[in-house]
Every structure is written in C-alpha cells, then in structure tokens.
Amino acid sequence: LVAEHGLKDEEGYPLSKELLLLWTMRAAHQPLFKNRGIRVNAVSPGPVETPILKQFRAVLGDARVDSDITRVGRAGTSADIAPAVLFLCSDGARWINGANLAADGGLEASINAEVLGF
C-alpha cells in the first residue's frame, strides 16, 4: 500500500497505526466480535526498549526517536506495557470497547499539547 501510493518509509508506520486504530473502533461493533462478547481494544506504546526500536531508528532517524524519548524522560520497557494489556483483558475493563490506550509515558499528550499550542 505504501509503495503503491508513493509514501515515504517514515510515513508507513504512522499510517498503518492509524488504520489499525480505525479497524479497532469498527471491529468492536462487528457481530463477529460483539455477538461473542469479545471486546476489541488497542494499546499504543511509545518508544520501548525492544528490538524493534532499532528499526524505528533506521526508518524515523535517531533524532526523532531520541526526541520522543526525551519528551517522556526515558524509553519504556515491556514491564511498562504489560500491565496496560493485562488491564484491558481484565474484568475491570469490561466497559471499555473500541478504545485505544496510549501506554506511552505521556508522549501522545505531549505532542498533542504542542500541536494545539498549550
């Protein structure tokens, strides 16, 4: 899809992530899941110290990744993300469906605040 529409490599990841979030909202209300009592949610981690972080550096560049890490104080770890996933799988999240949980140390909030000028 990215190659077909001439998108740059660094645009592919954010586009695919946005499409996944749209799919999450739509799938949450499709009979395939809804009629079976299956909730569909997404978790969006920020920069996390996993092997894929090297790929992000290769595609997005060190400056972008380092900037994101600086915004939140440190890169996350799998131990930072796992509790968010466990929560969404728990009965405590029984009324959460079609949502995206940003488990990103506040990265999304920081970027949105900057874009919105506050």
Closest CA to 33 of 44, 20, 23: 23
**Tell me, what amino acid is at 38?**
I
Token pair in block for residue 18: 């946005």
Provide φ and ψ at 50, rounded to 5°.
-135, 170
For residue 16, indicate whether it is catalytic: no
For tokens 């469906």, the residue is 97
Would you say 41 and 93 are in contact if contact means Cβ atoms under 8 Å apart? Answer: yes
Coil, strand or helix at 99: coil
Among candidate residues 2, 6, 10, 13, the one labeled active-site is 13
Cα 24 → chain centroid: 12
- Where in the sequence numbering do the catalytic residues fall? 13
